[in-house]
């Protein structure tokens, strides 16, 4: 157990970090004197060429979808801001839609961070700034007033500060075992509307299982399950609807199948022995390419359908792991394996992680990580929120981020001491979110201008789907 002197020294370390970065200094947007189009091209490098226009098409839908797909811009800009010098494992892309509900191995429904492609060691406040900026941008997109937007940002920032102060009083084991269950969220909800939304999400999660997905996504023919093509979002890599060509082609050869089997073997080696034994009960039925999200479009992502002896399904997602944008612009050391980086970061930050989470090296020297495609996963329908619901959701996200940082870092005492009890830090984040929302609008205009002029290729899902219609 820490002595009182040790705790006091850690508090002093947090307070002294204010000399390096005043709490009021967090209101500036950062190093925004750059060409957003150039940085977006850098982040698109080495993606599947045919899918890059779709990535830009999804980003172009609104300033908020643009923000989701342009994490590289904010990471670049944050590198030009004062930071506390307290580096911890951070999510790297903690915007409001990268939180959600999912089932723990004990089948409890919890709320937590759920995307770790950009996880790395970096300044803890970068996560909080990405979160608060996302609420400002989403609130403006939804047409809320300046005051309502500020309320949502303040809710996220003050809840983060409040929960971190609580975790600073907890033991290491208490923090490690802490989880935000939907039952706790129901008890904590401040409005009947919020409680109804949480209850509805719980009902929805109960129906989002592997079994429920099977007949929607697949069919059985000659004793074998096959996933239906739905290009451009879903297609067989070596089938007639494939968008993989040239250096991205997936040849239907024995050599290539051997490489993929080797990749799966690497994945099994990354799992605990009991998980490997569990997967021995499953046989691979089919593998397809899946286009996911906004920022991930163009990276290699596969879905594997496996079944057990009773024909019960298991869907695994195999996702390419690329260099984190946080690592590109922070003091983080390069990781020898990007899939390992994602998996270890996820296990550190989440209260409970997928039992099938693992990593592997794949063909052509690429790194991958594995997880379940769907296991009672639910996300917020922010488009349906009013201002009060958005503020309530912001509070839950601030709580979840504080829990993740406290667990992964063991630095709750330092972070709580740095923030203090007043509103100096949350006020600065409100100003930061407002400033970064303005910068995002400016970058979005530059991006859409580049798309209209042909500097960047753009196609929507509807455009590309039309290519496959007969």
What are the tens digits of pLDDT across the range 98-112?
999 998 888 889 999
Q: What is the pLDDT of residue 122?
A: 96
Q: What is the pLDDT of residue 69?
A: 97
pTM over 0.75: yes
For residue 3, what pLDDT band results from cuts at 50, 70 and 90?
low
CA 51 vs CA 8, 69, 93, 165, 248: distances in Å: 53, 14, 22, 45, 11
**Looking at 81-95, 152-166, 375-389, 435-449, which range is the least confident one?**
375-389
pLDDT tens, 183-221?
A: 888 888 888 888 888 888 888 878 788 888 888 899 999
**Do 220 and 200 share a structural domain?**
no
Q: CA torsion 397→402→404→408, rounded to 10°?
A: 160
Chain position carrying tokens 């400033």: 435
**Do 117 and 250 share a structural domain?**
no
Structural domains of the chain, count: 2
**Do 162 and 25 share a structural domain?**
yes
Q: How many CB atoms lie within 10 A of CB 38?
A: 9
278-296: average pLDDT: 95
**Do 313 and 443 share a structural domain?**
no
**Do 223 and 367 share a structural domain?**
yes
Which residues constitute the domain of residue 365? 210-372
| pLDDT higher than threshold 60 for residue 271 | yes
Q: What is the pLDDT of residue 350?
A: 97
Phi, psi dihedral angles at 278 (to 5 degrees) = -60, -45
Q: Which string of b and e fits 405-428 if b means at least 16 CB within 10 Å?
A: bbbbbebbbbbbbbbeeebebbbb
- Please give the helix or strand (H or E) that residue 361 lies within, else none: strand 358-361
**Do 400 and 273 share a structural domain?**
no
267-282: average pLDDT: 97
**Do 196 and 217 share a structural domain?**
no
Q: Residues with Cβ < 8 Å from 294, sequence gap 6 or more? A: 55, 58, 59, 65, 68, 69
pLDDT tens, 432-461?
A: 999 999 999 999 999 999 999 999 999 999
- Domain-ending residue, one of 354, 372, 390: 372
Query: For residue 230, what are the β-bridge partners?
Result: 234
**Do 202 and 216 share a structural domain?**
no
CA 19 to chain centre: 32
* DSSP code for 107: -
* DSSP code for 423: S
**Do 238 and 196 share a structural domain?**
no
**Do 454 and 405 share a structural domain?**
yes
**Do 170 and 25 share a structural domain?**
yes
Number of helices (H), then strands (E), belonging to the chain: the values are 19, 12
> Is pLDDT larger for residue 341 or for residue 334?
341
- Domain-ending residue, one of 312, 344, 372: 372
Dist. CA 418–CA 20, nearest whole Å? 11
Dist. CA 434–CA 29, nearest whole Å? 9
| pLDDT higher than threshold 50 for residue 1 | no
For residue 175, what pLDDT band results from cuts at 50, 70 and 90?
very high
- Domain-ending residue, one of 345, 372, 399: 372
| pLDDT higher than threshold 90 for residue 349 | yes
| pLDDT higher than threshold 60 for residue 470 | no
């Amino acid at each position: 157990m820490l002595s009182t002197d040790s705790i006091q020294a850690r508090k002093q370390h947090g307070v002294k970090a204010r000399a390096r970065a005043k709490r009021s200094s967090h209101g500036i947007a950062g190093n925004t004197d750059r060409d957003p189009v150039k940085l977006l091209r850098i982040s698109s490098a080495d993606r599947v060429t045919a899918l890059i226009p779709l990535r830009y098409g999804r980003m172009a839908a609104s300033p908020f979808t643009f923000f989701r797909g342009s994490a590289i811009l904010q990471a670049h800009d944050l590198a030009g801001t004062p930071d506390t010098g307290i580096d911890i494992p951070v999510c790297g892309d903690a915007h409001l839609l990268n939180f959600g509900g999912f089932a723990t191995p004990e089948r409890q429904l919890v709320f937590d961070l759920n995307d770790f492609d950009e996880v790395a060691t970096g300044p803890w406040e970068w996560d909080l700034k990405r979160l608060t900026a996302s609420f400002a941008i989403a609130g403006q997109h939804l047409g809320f007033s300046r005051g309502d937007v500020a309320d949502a940002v303040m809710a996220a920032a003050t809840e983060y500060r409040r929960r971190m102060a609580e975790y600073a009083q907890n033991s290491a084991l208490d923090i490690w075992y802490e989880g935000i269950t939907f039952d706790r969220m129901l008890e904590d909800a401040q409005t009947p509307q919020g409680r109804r939304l949480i209850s509805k999400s719980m009902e929805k999660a109960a129906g989002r299982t592997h079994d429920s997905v099977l007949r929607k996504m697949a069919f059985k023919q000659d004793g074998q399950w096959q996933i239906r093509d739905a290009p451009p979002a879903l297609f067989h890599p070596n089938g007639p609807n494939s968008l993989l060509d040239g250096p991205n082609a997936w040849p239907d050869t024995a050599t290539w199948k051997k490489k993929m089997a080797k990749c799966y073997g690497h994945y099994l080696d990354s799992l605990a022995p009991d998980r490997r034994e569990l997967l021995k009960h499953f046989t691979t039925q089919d593998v397809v390419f899946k286009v996911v999200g906004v920022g991930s479009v163009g990276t290699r992502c596969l879905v594997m359908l496996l079944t057990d002896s009773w024909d019960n399904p298991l869907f695994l997602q195999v996702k390419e792991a690329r260099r984190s944008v946080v690592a590109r612009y922070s003091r983080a050391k390069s990781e020898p394996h990007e899939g390992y980086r994602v998996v270890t970061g996820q296990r550190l930050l989440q209260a409970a992680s997928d039992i099938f989470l693992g990593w592997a090296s794949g063909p052509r020297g690429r790194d991958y990580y594995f997880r379940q495609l769907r296991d009672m996963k639910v996300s917020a329908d922010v488009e349906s929120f009013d201002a009060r619901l958005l503020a309530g959701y912001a509070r839950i996200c601030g709580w979840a981020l504080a829990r993740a940082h406290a667990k992964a870092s063991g630095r709750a005492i330092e972070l709580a001491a740095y923030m203090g009890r007043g509103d100096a830090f949350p006020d600065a984040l409100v100003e930061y979110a407002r400033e970064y929302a303005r910068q995002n609008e400016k970058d979005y205009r530059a991006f859409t201008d580049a798309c209209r002029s042909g500097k960047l290729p753009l196609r929507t899902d509807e455009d590309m789907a039309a290519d496959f219609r007969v």
